[in-house]
Structure 1
């Protein structure tokens, strides 16, 4: 069994718990308000703005035996630069206060997820960051395009309110294949275990971020 297959297998329970959250049921049923979508974008901004700094931190802390991963990290950085601005643009197109969002505090669940990512990179193992990549990119690729279509129809919003979701949907399939190839080059059992543990944690943490959207809109 390849490491990527092991990663999928050993985190299946956490993935199913993640996908069973009420936020996904409500979205499938188009039970979503404009406030829900604006809250989702707001929290997305507050974690996506850390993606490039996290990648930089990960790349700078890779041990000698993983220097081959630096080119992959650099590729991720090039792909991710500016995505938080897409989110702000989407928020403006959806009637949100795009200029205010950068100055408000994120929901505690978002703050905790970001803090956990930095902690893993800086204090535990920089490879743990790939657990976050797997959860956020894998989830987006599987669901983002369909979610965008449902939400757009339910709320009657313009196409330019969905650049973030659609860019992380079916168009990201090549990124998932790229990730699989990277993971299959990691052979150290301790590093594999670290990535698996981080993946389980990020399913839980990101699930809390998504579930917070309804709560945030009413604050």
Structure 2
């Protein structure tokens, strides 16, 4: 029997080109300096939800008697702590006027990416969140890509700390997630929930990147 992690990665790989194409469009768009600022604002809006979302999912798992899943989600919440602060530190180097945190209303693309997970966690099963994690941490940015973005924006290396750290951390997180997926009970409904969440995450993340690439640079509300 094919391990669930392999099945999930195959599903993600089928739709992955759309996500990679959206990312490529963003980093080829005019005015890369301001695009990167917009990207940091958008990613902060997404990442600041990570720990609260993981905690909600862990609590829901405990309610359902899913102790192993709850422990994994709690552990991952600890690993993700302060990542939103890293983004703010990067943003301060790119745009000192941005302030302590982006205050603009998150657009529907951000709410759709994150909000669907709350629905599945609270109204279906928290295992769905594993699909979200699999996409967001499944493909770490390559050093070549990060160096390209640095060159094209002209921002200092220090302004890319979050991306460089994730390039280092995400492969280990991916391995932990795969072990969690492969240790789950072989229940079709759970595997379907993880797969549905992952495919939605690919589509929603690609939509957000296309939005960042398509708008005039600097139009993504951060203040």
Normalised to the residue count of structure 1, the TM-score between the two structures is 0.89
Counterparts of 2:25 and 2:92, CA distance in 1: 26
SS at match of 1:157: coil
Measured at CA, do residues 113 and 96 of structure 1 come closer, stay the same or move farther in structure 2, by a change above 3 Å? farther
Counterpart in the other structure of 1:20 = 21
Counterparts of 2:161 and 2:69, CA distance in 1: 29
Q: Is the 8 A contact 1:145 1:165 kept in 2?
A: no
SS at match of 1:162: helix
Counterparts of 2:159 and 2:196, CA distance in 1: 35
Counterpart in the other structure of 1:185 = 183
Measured at CA, do residues 144 and 88 of structure 1 come closer, stay the same or move farther in structure 2, by a change above 3 Å? farther
Q: How many residues align?
A: 215
Deviations 1:81-119 (A, max 9, x none): 111111011011112533164321122201221211111
Measured at CA, do residues 46 and 155 of structure 1 come closer, stay the same or move farther in structure 2, by a change above 3 Å? same
Q: Which has the higher contact order (CA 8 A, sep 6+)?
A: 2
Counterpart in the other structure of 1:197 = 196
Which stretch shifts more, 159-168 or 98-107?
98-107
Counterpart in the other structure of 2:11 = 10
Give the CA RMSD over aligned residues. 2.0
Query: Which runs of no fewer than 5 residues in structure 2 stay unpaired?
Result: none
Normalised to the residue count of structure 2, the TM-score between the two structures is 0.88
Which stretch shifts more, 85-94 or 12-21?
12-21
Query: Residue 159 of structure 1: CA displacement?
Result: 1.9
Counterparts of 1:112 and 1:30, CA distance in 2: 24
SS at match of 1:138: coil
